[in-house]
Chain A
Amino acid sequence: MSEFYYTYENVIDLCLLNAVLAFGCLLLLGVNLLSLATGGLMAVGAYLSIWLTMQERWPFGPALLAATLAGALAAAGLGALVLRLRGDYFAMATLAFTEVVRILALNWDPVTGGALGVFGIPKYTETWQLLLLLALVVYFVWALRRSALGDRMRAIAEDELAVTASGHDVARVKLALFTASGAIAGLGGALAAHLNSFVAPGDFGFLRSMDAVIAPVLGGVWNLLGAAIGAIILTALPEVLRFSAQLREVLIGAVTLLAILFLPTGIASLPRLLVRGRIAQ
């Protein structure tokens, strides 16, 4: 077991990190919001924490806290502006945010190192921290779903107009969720920055944001662990398929596509489907 861990430490860390980010997106998917802001918010947290630890000599803990707050603040500000947009316009506005942040990072050389990126970032992120964070986030989502707010979220997903008409402040619920997901993304960005010794603006672009949204959709939105399962598959699959650099992309795409086509409620539903199949026989 420990040998397995030491061999694949980096992959395991990435799986945990991506699972955390996927839960941030899951929160929003729960109220029918598809956010592509993950990459941009991660960049905010990552660069703030890099600057604080490397230039200002802050310890890791306070830097993480600052990154979390910065992510939440950025999300609250962005959300106040774009949350009133409908459906795809919201998704595109959040994508625009991510891209603008990425391009600003690309051009702000003193802090971000420009296109070359920042080298020699101290590795502070430990597996147990990621594991703890994932456990906290899962607990948070679980508790949220059982709470009155969780009921309201389901109602919003079902029929936003009806919830507004019955006197609930839909906008406030959405802003709160967006802020929470921003905090998760900011913290995730800081942890990602201190995971490898190197960070470049390209790490926080469209594909990063898209992967964070795909994970819960792939794993299953209604299953508590669906987002984690999706993230682990999306992260581990490229490693498993390392034997072929190009065919790898084809296979990952094929697996995702097959899952979308044949598992309507996500990969997390696979065991239940198999069991049901056996009983039916």
Chain B
Amino acid sequence: MILQQLVNGLSLGAVYAVFAVGFTLVFGVLNVLNLSQGAVFMWGAYVGLEAVRTLQLPLPAAMAVAVVAAGILGVVTEWLVFRPLQRRGAHRWMGMVGSLALARILIGAAQEVFGTQVVRYPDSALIDATIVIGAARFQGLQVVAFGVALAMVLALGILLKFTNFGRAIRTVAFDETVARLVGVPVGRVRVVTFFISGALAGGAGGLWSLLFQSVSPFMGDTILLKGLTVLILGGLGNVVGALVGGLLLGLVEVGSIVAVGSGFRDAVGFGLVLLILLTRPTGLFATREAKRA
């Protein structure tokens, strides 16, 4: 029973983590919340689904298509909303409002193109293996999703930590003026950051739609709120924090279904946020933010 819940919680949490890591990466670089992230997640899910249904691609290829398409949407967000605002020196609220407006456009467009009904993957595309350990039964899909999610976050971690481009991203996140002074191409770093962030959102969308077998134009709203929760749990702009926070939220949610019933599941996450903000005002894993504040 406990093992079962653990697997459920970890696979859910891994998807949260993938989404939130992309979310927090943009915050780190731009210091602005990109609220179109949920809509990009939803588009990633639809592109993956359509790649399987109409293009007849195998599942891994379809996921790759979804990730790239969502990454491009991320770049479009930067180009359409954040770059003009940044150039004008607009207030940071404008970025939030602008990206939310873009989300609205994307959601409306998805309704127009795909309809408002909940759709699912054809059964033939799925891995229907069930793994049984003792009394616990879980789907092979959950394990695969967990593995893929972890691989994505790990790949990002390696990119950030060990490559020159990763160093450039971290420099911009540390301080944009400093980055300019040492010759970092800030504009390009920003574009790539948005691509990575969008790609992660799209990947999370693909994994989510496989795990829960439902794709709808409104699926981005829930994950956006979850992403914000994880962002606070881990500390704004903290990539490792987002990973741990995502897994933690998944486990807490699954645990809370057992403890207080599914009706309160979403309240538990936000209750946790309030509690953490009151005791540790810059997140559980505050490092740089704390110094900056």
Interface residues of A (CB under 8 A from B): 29, 34, 81-82, 84-86, 88-89, 92-93, 95-97, 99-100, 103-104, 106-107, 206, 210, 213-214, 217-218, 245-254, 256-257, 260-261, 264
A257 touches B101 (CB 8 A): yes
Q: Mark out the residues of chain B between 220 and 248 whose CB falls within 8 Å of any chain A CB in the assembled complex.
A: 221, 225, 228-229, 231-232, 236
Question: Looking at the complex, which of B58-66, B130-138, B192-200, B259-267 is the stretch in contact with chain A?
Answer: B259-267
Q: Complex Cα distance A99/B270, Å?
A: 7
Q: Complex Cα distance A256/B85, Å?
A: 14
Q: Mark out the residues of chain B between 253 and 293 whose CB falls within 8 Å of any chain A CB in the assembled complex.
A: 263-264, 266-267, 270-271, 273-274, 277-278, 281-282, 293
Interface size class of chain B, counting residues whose CB lies under 8 Å from the partner chain: 35 or more
Chain B interface, >50% SS class: helix
In the bound complex, residues from chain A placing their C-beta under 8 Å from that of B47 are none
B112 within 8 A of A: yes
Q: Complex Cα distance A29/B85, Å?
A: 19
In the bound complex, residues from chain A placing their C-beta under 8 Å from that of B264 are 103, 107
In the bound complex, residues from chain B placing their C-beta under 8 Å from that of A217 are 93-94, 97
A97 touches B266 (CB 8 A): no
Q: Complex Cα distance A82/B266, Å?
A: 20
Q: Are A248 and B108 CB-contacts (below 8 A) given A86-B293, A92-B273, A264-B90? A: yes
A93 touches B105 (CB 8 A): no
Q: Are A89 and B232 CB-contacts (below 8 A) given A250-B109, A257-B101? A: yes
Q: Are A206 and B81 CB-contacts (below 8 A) given A246-B111, A249-B105, A260-B94? A: no
Against A, the Cβ 8 Å flags (1 = close, 0 = not) of B117-159 are: 0000000000000000000000000000000000000000000
Q: Which residue of A lies closest to B94 (CB)?
A: A260
A250 touches B97 (CB 8 A): no
Q: Are A92 and B100 CB-contacts (below 8 A) given A34-B93, A100-B270, A250-B108? A: no
